[in-house]
Amino acid sequence: MTCGDASKRFSGHILLSMSSTFDRPAPDLAKILTAWEEWERGEQNPGKVLTNMKTAGLAEVLRELTESGWVPSVRS
């Protein structure tokens, strides 16, 4: 077996493992808000904030808000 053959087997194993089903946890609004507040205070750079918000489920929250027809209210 050559090094290339081992690499192909290893890569195949990785792909097989990644194709298994994974249930994403429900979005965590507290974590999304915490990430935002850390950015506002200057404690995190934007890349880290986006990573944390994505991991906490921001996309799912935005998708659900959009699908429900939610419109932000105007603050006075």
Asked whether residue 1 is domain-assigned, the answer is no
Domain count, the chain: 1
> Residue 14 pLDDT more than 60?
no
Question: In the structure, what pLDDT confidence band is assigned to residue 4 with cuts at 50, 70 and 90?
Answer: low
Q: How far apart are CA 49 and CA 40, in angstroms?
A: 10
Q: Is residue 13 part of a domain?
A: no
Rg (CA), the chain: 20
Could you tell me the pTM of the whole model? 0.65
- Residue 64: give the domain boundaries: 24-70
Is residue 10 one of the residues assigned to a domain? no
Q: Is the residue at 43 inside a domain?
A: yes
Q: Is residue 5 part of a domain?
A: no
d(CA 76, CA 73): 9
Q: What is the pLDDT of residue 9?
A: 54
Q: How many CA atoms lie within 13 A of 53 on its CB side?
A: 19
What are the two backbone dihedrals, phi and then psi, of residue 47, each rounded to the nearest 5 degrees? Answer: -60, -45
Provide the pLDDT for residue 2: 53
Report yes or no on 64 lying in a domain.
yes
Query: Between 12 and 31, where is the model more confident?
Result: 31
49 assigned to some structural domain:
yes
Residue 37, domain member (yes or no): yes
Q: Which residue has the higher pLDDT, 70 or 4?
A: 70
